[in-house]
Structure 1
């Protein structure tokens, strides 16, 4: 018996039965016509809609739970039909050296990435043509500097001399619609060095170094996303209209000792699609986090 239920009282002593008085005969009431029954077809339709609502309600709840409970080490990169996302493969974080902590744990106050930087690069999605020059390996500083307009390269070259990165890894690919994607990961000797380079890039300011072929960019101040990663800060920019031979979107992500540059560039009059660009940034951040 439940402890919160009241105890059942003891039965009372039996008493002599009392003959009940016979009630008076009821006065018959006028007959009320029976309400017509709804047609069987209408009943079946109501039943079908009720079941459908219950099924869709259950599916919606299940989907929400699946999304909100997704582990960061098992990130779904597959597309939702019709929303323009690219079909990325299933992602997982690389193995760490024995005893090495993740970058944003209590045991890693310096926020250092101990994994191989090349393993932290986002893989190309399905249908992409790999860039042979940016195959996921190491690249020289000159290749990274070539992403910027010629008028900015000397300044940036000096910045990397004063605050040299330990390594630069990069991957690029081209999608069937012509969009060219490139990701650079720069790892520095400390989080302070990475933050200094990020600040010197003057992201979002009118004087920040622009990429090659880009006239002017706008800082996406209103962009928010639900898959934010603790410890990773993103700054997203898009080329202002009218653009030249191609439209470019770019983002910088700061993650401890590592700085990422993410570029989507689409030749022609159409803009580089916003949804796959933000998808690329989010997934790359999850690998860095």
Structure 2
């Protein structure tokens, strides 16, 4: 047998040096006790040295400090006074602008659209125990018919004071056999007429008074049919007011009283459909877009087909039916009747009759 040599065993090596262990984490700083502001790990700070006492104020410094304080107080007082003055001036200017009428302030006056300036409207007193028509037009007008006419505007010389009315008196009346003109021409008595007539104005037109019912016939091209209606429906009384404004527009308002709303409506229907005034050629029915309806009033308007220099019709008419009272409003102007003035007159007269 052949002996095999055992391979030599490696000699033991000296143990290699182990890697150094990782450094240990730094220890957490210990918490400082409550109430201390010192930071752990830092050297304690020495307490601050007490401030040196301030030097005493000299008289000059004291006077300078008081002078600065006085100047600040005076400046504050001046600014407060200026602010108050500006506030008062602004308030006064606002009152000066808003207190008077806009038309009385130069530069703020609105251009006139043709409307008139009327005094405050007032209704006349009713006789004892009598009542006015209700908003639906039922009932009769018991007040003096002449005092239900629209007053004269300022532009025609009328006063701007509210009208004053005498004690109510009975309207003129007549029996069934009397004619229309006779029933309207005579008041109840001369004494009643004298007390009921308003005092004439020194500058305005003559006051309204009773007129015959058939006075309206002179304005019609065909008065025969209207005359028959006035007699058939027994017109009881009539009155008229006329004025010419500074713009050249002539206004006439007639009021006719009947014994019932049915009689008044009969004449109203005839006028609005068949009326042909003499001096107003080409009269046609006019539209009333945007007009405010007055309760208890039926309204029909007409105008001429001829326009004046202002581009508006030279004549406008309105017929109002208010229970037992019929109103005929005629406004003419060769240059054209302003639509605003016509609408204003019709609306205000409607308000007095409603």
1:281 corresponds to which residue? 346
State the partner residue of 2:188. none
- Could you tell me whether the CA contact under 8 Å between 2:116 and 2:153 is conserved in 1? yes
Task: Assess, with a 3 A threshold, how the Cα gap between structure 1 residues 113 and 81 changes in structure 2: closer, same or farther.
Answer: farther
Counterpart for residue 259 of structure 1:
326
Aligned partners of 1:113 and 1:257 also within 8 Å? yes
In structure 1, distance between residues paired with 2:287 and 2:353? 22
The answer to whether the Cα contact below 8 Å between 2:152 and 2:243 also exists between their aligned partners in 1 is: yes
* Partner of residue 16, structure 1: none
Structure 1 counterpart of 2:145, from 117, 123, 137: 117
Structure 1: runs of 5 or more not aligned: 1-54, 60-78
Q: 1:83 aligns with which of 101, 109, 113?
A: 113
Aligned to 2:132: 102
Aligned residue for 2:154, secondary structure, equals coil
**Contact persistence 2:252–2:330 (CA under 8 A):** yes
Measured at CA, do residues 239 and 82 of structure 1 come closer, stay the same or move farther in structure 2, by a change above 3 Å? Answer: same
Q: List gaps (5 residues or longer) in structure 2.
A: 1-93, 99-108, 158-203
Relative to 1, partners in 2 of residues 1:176 and 1:218: Cα closer, same or farther, differing over 3 Å?
same
Structure 1 Cα separation of the partners of residues 340 and 225 of structure 2: 32
Alpha-carbon distance in 2 for matches of 1:179, 1:162:
34
For residues 81-230 of structure 1, the aligned pairs below 5 Å read 82-104=112-134, 110-128=138-156, 132=206, 135-149=207-221, 152-201=222-271, 203=272, 205=273, 208-226=274-292, 228-230=293-295
Distance 1:224 1:253, change over 3 A: farther
Query: Deviation string for 1:63-89 (max 9, x for gaps)?
Result: xxxxxxxxxxxxxxxx97522210111
CA distance in 2, matches of 1:102, 1:127: 31
Tell me which residue corresponds to 1:236. Answer: 301
Give, in whole Å, the separation in 2 of the partners of 1:288 and 1:80.
30
User: Would the alpha carbon gap of residues 179 and 222 (structure 1) be closer, same or farther in structure 2, given more than 3 Å must change?
Assistant: closer
For the aligned residue pairs, the C-alpha RMSD in angstroms reads 2.7
Q: In structure 2, how many angstroms separate the alpha carbons of the residues matched to 1:286 and 1:80? A: 26
**Residues 193, 142 of structure 1: alpha-carbon distance in 2 compared, 3 angstrom cutoff:** closer
Shift of the 80–236 alpha-carbon distance from structure 1 to 2, 3 Å rule, reads farther
**Alignment partner of 2:318: what SS?**
strand
Q: Which structure ranks higher in relative contact order (CA pairs < 8 Å, sequence separation ≥ 6)?
A: 1
Partners of 2:280 and 2:315 within 8 A in 1: yes
Query: Match of 1:271, SS?
Result: coil
Structure number having the greater strand percentage: 1
Q: Are the counterparts in 1 of residues 226 and 267 from structure 2 also a CA contact under 8 Å?
A: no
CA separation of 1:218 and 1:94: change in aligned 2, threshold 3 A = same
Indicate which of 316, 320, 323 corresponds to 1:249: 316
Deviation (angstroms), 1:225: 2.1
Task: Provide closer, same or farther for how the CA distance between residues 180 and 200 of structure 1 changes in structure 2, counting only shifts above 3 A.
Answer: same
CA drift at 1:111: 2.0
* Residue deviations 1:68-124 (CA, integer Å, cap 9, x gap): xxxxxxxxxxx9752221011110111111222221158xx8420011111100001
Inter-partner Cα distance in structure 1 for 2:236 and 2:316: 26
What number of residue pairs does the alignment pair up?
A: 200
CA contact (8 A) 1:110 1:190 kept: no
